[in-house]
């Protein structure tokens, strides 16, 4: 199968190449694609070097699928051109997520919405993905009514520039700033730009995407998203109110058997999920499960996942795997 990776030289694009190799996706020909200034550079895949090609050359080569991780404006411009050539695009940007004509997919939850006609498929926001993977098995049984979520997000979610800023600050080196403020020994309660309602775009992505993926517009979500000096993955403190009461032992059982979820919840042994343990893993790790004692039918939980893997690249590759398995490519 001919596969294009658009944005192949970026953090997520590089991770996509790694995961395609790790999962033995049936790539017969690889087309790494990037901006004009990167054309001719080389990327490595399964021990071989591949030259980066332009968007137009990639379209002319007619891959079956193109994994996009090149930013929203690039996706808005180029994804329709790929789709018009009959190429299935799986897009990691925010460009298409809330478009009512496009599917927003987390394979563990809603891959069944996909058809052969879906030529642009949206990959959700990283912080949304891990939250809905953890909540879905509980939603099926207890009916999620309201979610209050605070995130503690890795600098890798911003990109290479932010990783460099953090490492420079650790070394006491002056350098280019990805953020307005220092990130080392700090927490920045702003991810993306502010909207008129006082929330950031990242916070509203979690609100809107959750409803679309879980196919339930009645779910109420309120979010605060924070950037912290971590590189392993994103963490989330989630307070979730259900329509029905729950049994804590049953909650643990549901989560321990849920696809893509690993339960790490042993307070007596001080065992709980941490970003360093989720780093380079594809699962969503859940722990600190406890009943909210201030109101009925409400659970507190702590959810951690590698934002470059399940939060981005792995989810996109899993969508492609589903399309192959169902003969939709």
- Per-residue pLDDT reduced to its tens digit, 79-102: 999 999 999 999 999 999 999 999
pTM comes to 0.96
Express each pLDDT in 264-322 by its tens digit.
999 999 999 999 999 999 999 999 999 999 999 999 999 999 999 999 999 999 999 99
Beta strands 2-6; 65-68: pairing state: parallel
Please list the residues that pair with 262 across neighbouring strands. Answer: 285
Domain tally, the chain: 2
Do residues 295 and 242 make contact, with C-beta atoms less than 8 angstroms apart? no
CA distance 43 to 125: 26
Known catalytic membership, residue 234: yes
Known catalytic membership, residue 279: no
The CATH number for 93's domain is 3.40.50.720
Please list the residues that pair with 220 across neighbouring strands. Answer: 146
The CATH number for 218's domain is 3.30.360.10
Q: 257 and 112 in one domain? A: no
**Cα-based distances in Å from 196 to 9, 128, 200, 201, 217:** 34, 21, 9, 10, 22
Residue 60: which domain range?
A: 2-123+312-325
Give pLDDT, residue 196: 98
pLDDT-derived band of residue 36, with 50, 70 and 90 as boundaries? confident
Q: Which of 126, 139, 257, 279 is catalytic?
A: 126
Q: What is the mean pLDDT of the chain?
A: 97
Q: 143 and 78 in one domain? A: no
């Amino acid at each position: 199968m001919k596969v294009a990776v658009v944005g192949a030289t970026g953090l997520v694009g590089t991770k996509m190449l790694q995961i395609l190799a790790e999962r033995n996706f049936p790539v017969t020909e690889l087309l790494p694609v990037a901006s004009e200034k990167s054309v001719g550079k080389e990327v490595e895949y399964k021990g071989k070097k591949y030259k980066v090609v332009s968007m137009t050359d990639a379209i002319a080569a007619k891959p079956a699928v193109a994994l996009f991780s090149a930013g929203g404006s690039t996706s808005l411009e180029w994804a329709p051109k790929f789709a018009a050539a009959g190429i299935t695009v799986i897009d990691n940007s925010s460009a298409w997520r809330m478009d009512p004509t496009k599917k927003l997919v987390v394979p563990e939850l809603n891959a069944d919405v996909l058809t052969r006609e879906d030529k642009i498929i949206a990959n959700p926001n990283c912080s949304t993905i891990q939250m809905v993977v953890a909540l879905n098995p509980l939603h099926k049984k207890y009916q999620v009514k309201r979610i209050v979520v605070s995130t503690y997000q890795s600098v890798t979610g911003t990109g290479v520039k932010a990783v460099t800023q953090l490492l420079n600050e650790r070394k006491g080196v002056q350098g280019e700033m990805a953020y307005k403020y220092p990130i080392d020994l700090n927490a920045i309660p702003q991810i993306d730009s502010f909207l008129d309602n006082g929330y950031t775009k990242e916070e509203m992505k979690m609100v809107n995407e959750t409803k679309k993926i879980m196919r339930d517009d009645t779910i109420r979500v309120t979010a605060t998203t924070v950037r912290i000096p971590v590189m392993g993955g994103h963490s989330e403190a989630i307070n979730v109110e259900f329509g029905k009461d729950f049994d804590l032992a049953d909650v643990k059982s549901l989560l321990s058997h849920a696809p893509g979820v690993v339960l790490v919840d042993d307070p007596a042994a001080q065992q709980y999920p941490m970003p360093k343990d989720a780093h380079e893993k594809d699962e969503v790790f859940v722990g600190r499960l406890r009943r909210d004692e201030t109101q009925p039918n409400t659970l507190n939980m702590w959810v951690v996942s590698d934002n470059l893997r399940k939060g981005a690249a792995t989810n996109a590759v899993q969508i492609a795997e589903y399309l192959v398995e169902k003969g939709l490519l």
